Structure 1
Amino acid sequence: MEEIKSINTEELKKKLDNGDKLELIDVREDEEVAYGMIPGAKHMKMSDIPNRLNELDKGKEYIFICRSGGRSFNVCHYLQQQGYKVTNMEGGMLEWGGDVEVNL
């Protein structure tokens, strides 16, 4: 099995603070993201991903986010098998100490 690339919340925050242009995708459920997502992240529920592959570009690298890092890891594994470039945010939103956008 190919290894899944990962990034921790501190590394991700540094990149965002430096103004890096990153493709962030939050795979949590609607009621979870309502309490806050990393600014700039796109919401794509885990269960919707197989039907929304046309929205992803194989030329780009995506960082996947969930609550604790488990679901996003599974999404990364699935997408990597489909030929996408993926990175899992370890620790998920539970460990995220940066800004969040709340959409309640």
Structure 2
Amino acid sequence: MRVRHYLRRPPTVSATEALQLVHDGALVVDVRRDFEWNRVHIPDAVHMPLEVLPDRCIELPEDTLLIAFCTGGIRSAGAANLLVENGFDAVNMSGGLIGWRAAGGELSE
């Protein structure tokens, strides 16, 4: 990914808002590395590590809100910008995994 993806602030939602959006049909795109995903992840999320996102984002649905997700919200900010640049309706979830847990979001191991 290019530096420009981190220079702009992407559309952002809180973890509480993300929980509601997922309930309404949004899809979480987890951009963390494999070992992070294998440790714990959000049920029904799509795992697409940041390093492969530019080449694989074409596999994501075009008619669904995408919520970029990582551990702390920094990598997912770049991912959300990249997705928006590629024509997707995408937002970054601020707070990452910590925020998701605090908001009562479920996790799978």
TM exceeding 0.5: yes
Deviations 1:60-94 (A, max 9, x none): 22011001000000011122122221110101002
The match for 1:63 among 56, 62, 67 is: 67
State the match for 2:16 in structure 1.
Answer: 10
Deviations 1:3-50 (A, max 9, x none): 52211112223444xx32221110000011112111110100000011
Query: How many aligned residue pairs are there?
Result: 100
* Percent identical: 29
Alignment of 1:20 with 2:24, yes or no, is: yes
The normalised TM-score by structure 2 is 0.80
State the match for 1:73 in structure 2.
Answer: 77
Q: 1:20 & 1:10 partners in 2: Cα distance?
A: 13
The normalised TM-score by structure 1 is 0.84
Q: Give the RMSD, CA atoms, in angstroms.
A: 1.9
Which structure 1 residue ranges, 4+ long, deviate > 3 Å from structure 2? none
Alignment of 1:38 with 2:45, yes or no, is: no
Structure 1: tracts of 5 or more residues without a match: none
Structure 2: tracts of 5 or more residues without a match: 1-6
